[in-house]
Chain A
Amino acid sequence: MTSRRLTKLVARLGFWVLVAVVLLYAVFPFYYAVITSLKPSGELFTVSYWVDSLDVSNYVAIFSQSSFVRAIFNSLLVSISVVFIALLLGITASYALGRVRFRGRTTVMLVILGVSMFPQVAVLSGLFEVIRALNLYNNPAGLILSYTIFTLPFTVWVLTTFMKQLPQELEEAAIMDGATPWVTITRVFLPLMWPAMATTGLLAFIAAWNEFLFALTFTLSDDQRTVPVAIALISGGSQHELPWGPIMAASVTVTVPLVVLVMIFQKRIVSGLTAGAVKG
């Protein structure tokens, strides 16, 4: 009796230890960044795991730089545009790929998947030429274009899978009611596809928000930069000083919107990611 109770206790303890390890592994870096950002520059290199004094001077410092505020605005502009364009194209493409029978449908799907497999570096120079040719260098529109290229395959695949599951008769009922394909998409399918759209939209947003390589390559001046590049280029008073405080403050600042978004869409994401696992 007691031994059984003991095993149960050990099993429970083991479970929570495991949870603690996972939590520590996942959250500690972010936690340490938050702490660091709240330290005055003098205490930066003393190791401590608790907030001793609330010092917001780092935050004041980065927000007083107009280029950083501008970078946040650029990031928002680029990310929201990417999400909007990717969802619009994704929805319409998924209707064609998921609902209309035509020759070569599978081939198109595989090509779309294939495109997403290229590493960013491989297409960097080619894309650079494209952006120069389109006269989009040092312009947020260039970033929107290049991010959309990498976001669309995923968006189209997820939305197509989701679209395929919507019952055929629903579309036919709409046709009988006199709906055109566009009306069917916007007024019958769209309201049913929110979970999938929240998931893909959020992932597209995160990808665009965090992207660094293209943002570094395709922008030149401070007022066109996005946040990840802006953070990387924060420099100290001299070549030998790395301003950890402001960098951490900036990192925390740009992570918060993502956390908030994930919190808001948490439920939808789960139902979107598991859509297709079970009927319903």
Chain B
Amino acid sequence: MASVTLDKVNKVFGHTPIIKDVDLDIGDGEFVVFVGPSGCGKSTLLRLIAGLESISDGELSIAGQVVNDLPPRERGVGMVFQSYALYPHMTVYENMAFGLKLAKTAKETIHERVMATARILQLEELLERKPKALSGGQRQRVAMGRAMAREPRILLFDEPLSNLDASLRVQMRNEIARLHQRLGSTMIYVTHDQVEAMTLADKIVVLNAGRVEQVGTPHELYQRPATRFVAGFIGSPTMNFLPATLVTGNDAGCRVRAAGIGELALPQDTAQQVAGEALTLGVRPEHLRLAEAAGDNAFEIVNVEYLGNEVYVYLEPKAGETLLIHRSEAPSPWRVGQKVALVPDPEQVHLFDAGDRALGVATARAVA
């Protein structure tokens, strides 16, 4: 168990910067999830921590010790790979014992640790099997066992569930969560799936194009996304974005106008903005209300998806091509072709400036 600190960490491949000035504090025993679209650098960041890639610039410390130049085996980290990468010619037992053997651990200790790990992961029955005789979920558990057997201070997971089918993924997700509760060790987990991130993490790190967009608890990221990117990435279905203009505003609140919605009084602090500035309004599908309407300002319903417990209503946008989504509990009265007005809940509306940064809620209101 250990904390991890990244201080202005950079990674450059050739001339292409992959990781740009990442600062991060990961506490002892925390479950941190790196999430972001493919190519955002989340796996590279994990590999930097593992020691599989060298750090171009900046400092990486584990438990207070700078480890930039330490090889992986001296960093006390264990890693679970996306493809599991089990040694195909070794049995489950040998797979888990390999690292301990190389560390010249006493035979009895190896046996004890492997058996203890196997018990936690329910692998006792499978110890004599080769990886090819295991199912996907079992291989996944062996991969975790191999990483755990050496009792690393930090466990790293690189998209460990992406090779499993949907139902098994939910099951393994639960097992990993319970494993963390049980071991209490620091875990860093990479995924592109925001559901995995939301359900597993104590702390989510959203990455985009090699930079940290926002760090926070799942709740913070959902409630107060710092940028438009985070707002669009966290939450499913994704947040609706509408172009808007600032009418008036100061540090206590503002009024904005959006096409098809009209003027809205919002609690955001717009002291830094000038009237007439272009903004983006963000509303989650679950924070919209629909009302029957007619005329130019009404939105047309183009599709209705029934999911059993809830209904998604898709609306033709006034600008752009992305359909707007409204989400409500089933049953829903709305039908394709109907014209409706959008009524957002002002308390749940997000406002982004021209640089896609979220505008903060006015201080007086935020306390209330």
A169 at the interface (CB under 8 A from B): yes
Contact A176 B83 (CB under 8 A): no
- Chain B residue at smallest Cβ distance from A168: B85
Residues of chain A within 8 A of B275, CB atoms compared: none
Residues of chain A within 8 A of B87, CB atoms compared: 170, 173-174, 188
User: Contacts A175-B52, A177-B102, A192-B89 hold; do A169 and B83 have CB atoms under 8 A apart?
Assistant: yes
B246 at the interface (CB under 8 A from A): no
Minimum distance in angstroms from A166 CB to a CB of chain B: 10
Contact A177 B146 (CB under 8 A): yes
User: Contacts A167-B83, A169-B81, A169-B83 hold; do A176 and B73 have CB atoms under 8 A apart?
Assistant: yes
A179 at the interface (CB under 8 A from B): yes
Residues of chain A within 8 A of B102, CB atoms compared: 177-179, 183
Q: How far is the CA of A94 from the CA of B272 in the complex (A)?
A: 62
Q: How far is the CA of A191 from the CA of B131 in the complex (A)?
A: 15
Q: List 22 A-B contacts (CB under 8 A).
A: A167-B85, A172-B81, A173-B79, A173-B86, A173-B146, A174-B98, A175-B51, A175-B52, A175-B72, A175-B73, A176-B50, A176-B52, A176-B77, A176-B79, A176-B99, A176-B147, A177-B99, A177-B146, A183-B102, A187-B98, A188-B87, A192-B89
Contact string, B83-106, partner A, CB cutoff 8 A, digits 1/0? 101111100000000110011000
Q: How far is the CA of A179 from the CA of B99 in the complex (A)?
A: 8
Minimum distance in angstroms from B146 CB to a CB of chain A: 7
Residues of chain B within 8 A of A174, CB atoms compared: 87, 98
Q: How far is the CA of A183 from the CA of B102 in the complex (A)?
A: 9
Residues of chain B within 8 A of A178, CB atoms compared: 72-73, 99, 102-103, 150
Contact string, B33-72, partner A, CB cutoff 8 A, digits 1/0? 0000000000000000011100000000000000000011
User: Contacts A167-B83, A183-B102 hold; do A176 and B72 have CB atoms under 8 A apart?
Assistant: yes
Instruction: Give the size of the chain A interface in residues (CB under 8 angstroms).
Output: 16
Contact B98 A172 (CB under 8 A): no
Contact string, B141-165, partner A, CB cutoff 8 A, digits 1/0? 0000011001000000000000000
Within 179-206 of A, Cβ neighbours of B (below 8 Å) are at: 179, 183, 187-188, 191-192
Within 116-171 of A, Cβ neighbours of B (below 8 Å) are at: 167, 169-170
Q: Tell me the B residues contacting A by CB distance below 8 Å.
A: 50-52, 71-73, 77-79, 81-83, 85-89, 98-99, 102-103, 146-147, 150
Minimum distance in angstroms from B120 CB to a CB of chain A: 19
Contact A192 B88 (CB under 8 A): yes
Residues of chain B within 8 A of A183, CB atoms compared: 102
Minimum distance in angstroms from B116 CB to a CB of chain A: 18
- Chain B residue at smallest Cβ distance from A173: B85
Contact A177 B150 (CB under 8 A): yes
Minimum distance in angstroms from A278 CB to a CB of chain B: 17
**20 additional A-B residue pairs with CB within 8 Å, beyond A176-B99, A177-B73, A183-B102:** A169-B82, A172-B52, A172-B79, A172-B85, A173-B79, A173-B87, A173-B146, A175-B71, A175-B72, A175-B73, A176-B50, A176-B52, A176-B147, A177-B99, A177-B150, A178-B102, A179-B102, A191-B89, A192-B88, A192-B89
Q: How far is the CA of A191 from the CA of B150 in the complex (A)?
A: 23
User: Which 4 pairs across A and B sit closest by C-beta, in order of nearness?
Assistant: A178-B73, A177-B99, A169-B85, A173-B85
- Chain A residue at smallest Cβ distance from B77: A176
Minimum distance in angstroms from B15 CB to a CB of chain A: 16
Minimum distance in angstroms from B298 CB to a CB of chain A: 54
Which of the listed residues A173, A179, A191 has the most CB atoms from chain B within 10 Å of its own CB? A173
- Chain A residue at smallest Cβ distance from B88: A192
Q: How far is the CA of A172 from the CA of B150 in the complex (A)?
A: 16
Residues of chain A within 8 A of B82, CB atoms compared: 169
Residues of chain A within 8 A of B79, CB atoms compared: 172-173, 176
Q: How far is the CA of A81 from the CA of B73 in the complex (A)?
A: 37
- Chain A residue at smallest Cβ distance from B50: A176
A167, A170, A176, A191: the one contacting B78 at CB < 8 Å is: A176
